[in-house]
Amino acid sequence: MLNPARIEFARTRRRWTKTKLAEALGVQSRSIQGYESGEYSPEPERLEQIASLLRFPLSFFSGPDLPKISEHTASFRSMSKMSASLKDSALSAGSLAFILNHWIESRFNLPVSSLPDLSDLSPEDAAATLRRMWGLGEAPVSNMIHLLESKGIRVYSLAIEAREVDAFSVWHDNTPFVFLNTFKSAEHSRFDACHELGHLVRDSHSMLHGKKAHNPEMEREANAFASAFLMPRDSVIAHKPNLPTIGQLIELKSFWGVSLPALAYRMNQLGLLTAWTYRSLCIDIAKKGYRTKEPRPMRQEVSQMLAKVFEALRGEGVGKSDIAAELFLLVEDLNNLTFGLTLSGVSTAVTIEGVPPKTTNPGLRLVK
């Protein structure tokens, strides 16, 4: 049976307007409205056209209703700069991640989340408290995605080529999800991941229960949390150079895995730079183009959990095309959600934060 809601979902996911789809099909916009509302169904040939134009398998349109992400529960950054179509496309990508994650969790035992509620603490104190709770001390976070996944947070990728979409987080079935835009630099993505962690431990409870709507103040505080979490106060002070220069900051930014502007801002926030020095550094950073292109860029971080899942599936003779067929999706959509990881040649020589490789136990087990 055709599910008209899936026609609307597919159109939204691909960022097509009703007018654009109607023109491509050679019909009136009113017809698209009728298809999506269930008032009447497209002829089989017309449905095949829709599937082809929107790049979804024909079988996709017969599935059950998909889980939806309510706008007020998602912590989008740069909300004011996002068009409605871009926001809806990102949210629908999150919905596809939910069904993929459900498929994975029906076959594997994954880490269960137990995030504290730190909403009563300032961003700085919340970051320091969470570091103590997780036993991180003052050490740099070597891999932000691995750390989140070890704490039961599901991390998926958003292959959306738009600077307006940084990242967002949301809870689904009592599980926290973080979505990262893979078109950003590694340093930017690490900060985004930590920014979303700040939302999850400080804002999610209020947003979920309708006590507080997402607002600019939340964004500023999530940025402050990310800055404090990635660059602990005592550690930054201990590494302060006597005469800060762009060259010295480039060396230090690699130590904490942050962008050059983020490091300069943190040092200034902690009173380690004079107003003149900070202004000079900001001018030099802008002149050299380091606000848009990172010097000595880091390697992009990817999911550890998904890498291990795919390697286990490969051992069972299961490929991405098999998963896509079960979920009525294209392999392209799975790639866009899984950092482009493949089902072959994936190494499991990765670590959970703070655990040596030989004793790593990600809590991942294939359920027979």
Handedness of CA 73, 178, 270, 164 (dihedral sign): negative
Distance CA 305, CA 368 (A): 18
Question: Within the chain, how many helices (H) and strands (E) appear?
Answer: 17, 5
Neighbours of 236 (CB within 10 A): 22
> Span 73-95, mean pLDDT?
80
Pairing of strands 108-109, 154-158: unpaired
The more confident residue out of 349 and 27 is 27
Mean pLDDT for all residues in the chain: 88
| Res 357 pLDDT > 60 | no
| Res 134 pLDDT > 70 | yes
Q: What's the pLDDT score for residue 95?
A: 95
Confidence band of 360 (pLDDT split at 50, 70, 90): very low
Tell me which residue has tokens 């320091």: 128
Q: What is the pLDDT of residues 182-222, one digit of tens each?
A: 888 999 999 999 999 999 999 876 555 545 666 788 999 99
| Res 342 pLDDT > 70 | no
Q: What's the pLDDT score for residue 176?
A: 95
| Res 349 pLDDT > 50 | no
The b-or-e profile of 170-196 (16+ CB within 10 A means b, else e) is bbbeebbbbbbbbebebbbbbbbbbbb
Q: Find out whether 179 and 334 touch, Cβ atoms under 8 Å.
A: no
Q: What's the pLDDT score for residue 35?
A: 97
Kindly give the interhelix angle for 275-287 and 246-256, rounded to the nearest 10 degrees: 80
> Span 296-325, mean pLDDT?
94
Q: What is the pLDDT of residues 95-117, one digit of tens each?
A: 999 999 999 999 999 999 989 99
Share of the chain above pLDDT 90, in %: 75
Q: What is the pLDDT of residues 66-79, one digit of tens each?
A: 998 887 778 776 55
Distance CA 206, CA 221 (A): 15
Distance CA 298, CA 310 (A): 24
Distance CA 207, CA 201 (A): 11
Q: What is the pLDDT of residues 225-282, one digit of tens each?
A: 999 999 999 999 999 998 899 999 999 999 999 999 999 999 999 999 999 999 999 9
Distance CA 134, CA 148 (A): 11
Q: Find out whether 51 and 60 touch, Cβ atoms under 8 Å.
A: yes
Q: What is the pLDDT of residues 166-182, one digit of tens each?
A: 789 999 999 999 999 88
Q: Which residue, among 265, 276, 190, has the nearest Cα to 220 in the 3D structure?
A: 265
Global pTM value: 0.89
> Span 3-20, mean pLDDT?
96
